[in-house]
Structure 1
Amino acid sequence: ETIVCEAQKVLMYAPLSDRKKHLVGVLTITTFKVSFATAEEVEFSNCYQQNLLLGINDICLSSIDVIYQVGDRTKKKLSPGQNVTGRVKEVLILCKNMKYLEFSFKFSDKDSGKNIVNALLHHAYPKRHTLLFAYDYKEPYISNTLVKEV
């Protein structure tokens, strides 16, 4: 697993909070997952099932269904293979298991939102199968064909 893109001082809004509750942390895109790390202590022991590969604020790239670019009053669906050129204020990630994460780049660097979204679009919807995480750790292929000697 390698880090593709990272953004500091990203806000992650709590679901169903009308953007009143948020956590500040680091958003990291790797070849396997989207990870949000925060220094704030959050208690989720009652409602969270442990996973050895993914934390509570992590999602696997293959489970991403739709990515939206959120503006002041608009929500634009981003298509696979698209390249975002303008500034990104917020991004909404909807997963196949109906989990959603919403991030704001209000306090982060100028182009960090654009870089995160482009990395997501490139690795969550890969055009080549070699971009998938499993291909980094594949076993060498050994052919079982018989060799004729002349």
Structure 2
Amino acid sequence: MDAQQREKEFMALVESYKRVIYKVCYMYATDADHLNDLYQEVVINLWKAFPHFRGESKVSTWVYKIGLNTCVSFFRKSKGRPEVVPITVDLENLASEESHTAQIRELYGMINRLNSMERALILLWLEEKSYQEIAEITGFSRNNVAVKLMRIKEKLKTMSNS
């Protein structure tokens, strides 16, 4: 495949998965500028990995894995940031096609208070990924995913009751 064809295929992939990339970045962003930086980092890392994608997993699994790894690494590198950071991006602008209710805003606020790996797991669960797909993306065992998600859901319930 020539460079022009590879670039064309990559651009089609990014266009197809831009909402997935955006949602992953959103879970780790502290503001709109940070969101844009994360998005660019994920796209760069996807581009670097694109020639090596062998199709051994679904494309969506590969995109999520690279996106989450990029965001978690970026999050860990920023040592000066507090663990709990309020989300300042306007949800209506995040997904103009979807109407967000006050409950969804509250849920995103609670998710933002989770640690980075808990955010990744709950994001994948909210995206209706199977436990097996989540395991493939995160590197946890399927059983470990189930246990962690159960604990995260309990944590979110506790947060919503307080």
For normalisation by structure 2, the TM-score amounts to: 0.27
Higher strand share: 1
After TM superposition, the score normalised by the length of structure 1 is 0.29
Question: If you compute each CA radius of gyration, which structure gives the higher value, 1 or 2?
Answer: 1
